[in-house]
Structure 1
Amino acid sequence: MTTLLHDVWTTVCRYTDLLPERGVCALVNGSQIAVFRDFDGRVYAVGNRDPFSGAYILSRGIVGTRGGEPTVASPMHKQVFSLVSGACLDGGGEAIPVHPVRLSGEHVEVRA
């Protein structure tokens, strides 16, 4: 049986290394992934590339909520993206990729 790269979970950090409402960037299978932890303890993983500027900076974005949905605002032009669906919540712009993320013991794992 062949294992595809996108079927592999990659440990990116310890859960306690993620500060609430802050992001970190991790390289997973050649892709930059922004990983966030919210104040409720949930973890999210999205692509780190801002589709509006092309810069890999979403891990430095402002984490918040809109209508109860967890979000990140790009530090470049302030477009807001859902951390759940990746949709741009400001005028229907390009979505960002969302990656499966899980906790394995004390570690955060991402599949990209």
Structure 2
Amino acid sequence: MSWVTICEESALPANRGVAAWVAGRAVAVFHLGEAGIFAIDNIDPATGVSVLSRGLLCELNNELFVASPIHKQHYSLTTGQCLENEALSVDIFEIKRQSGNVLARALA
């Protein structure tokens, strides 16, 4: 998959998520300041609902997670793995900054 421009970096709110389309997929994008910008599937695999961009951000055991706003499962922003149920996971996207823009592509 090639790189897709999501938005200007200045358009991303700090310490919250936003939903974006990347190559026809709903993606949750999180700008966490010095920790970086992260992107995962926006679809909660436990429910099939596109809500992870509205989840609560947290750090557990030195790893960043988003908690689904529906059933509160925690998904790692770096691996996509669900903390509570190893059968659940989301795809993660590689992020890069270029000329003030944020670009993403799915990891293979």
TM-score over 0.5 for the pair: yes
CA distance in structure 1 between the partners assigned to 2:32 and 2:100 by the alignment: 16
Q: Is this contact kept in 2: 1:35–1:45, CA < 8 A?
A: yes
RMSD (Å) for aligned C-alpha atoms: 1.2
Gap regions ≥5 residues in structure 2 = none
Q: Is this contact kept in 2: 1:21–1:64, CA < 8 A?
A: no
Normalising to structure 2: TM-score of the pair? 0.91
**SS of the counterpart of 1:111?**
strand
Alpha-carbon offset, residue 50 of structure 1 = 0.1
- Report matched runs for 1:43-54 at 5 Å: 43-54=37-48
Match of 1:82 among 64, 71, 76: 76
Q: Structure 1 stretches (4+) deviating beyond 4 angstroms?
A: none
Q: Percent of aligned pairs with the same residue?
A: 36
2:63 is aligned with 1:69: yes
Larger radius of gyration, structure 1 or 2?
1
Normalising to structure 1: TM-score of the pair? 0.88
Letter of the structure 2 residue corresponding to residue 83 of structure 1: L
CA distance in structure 2 between the partners assigned to 1:39 and 1:63 by the alignment: 13
| The structure with more strand, counted as a fraction of residues | 2
Match of 1:28 among 22, 27, 33: 22
Paired position in structure 2 for 1:111 = 105
Letter of the structure 2 residue corresponding to residue 21 of structure 1: N
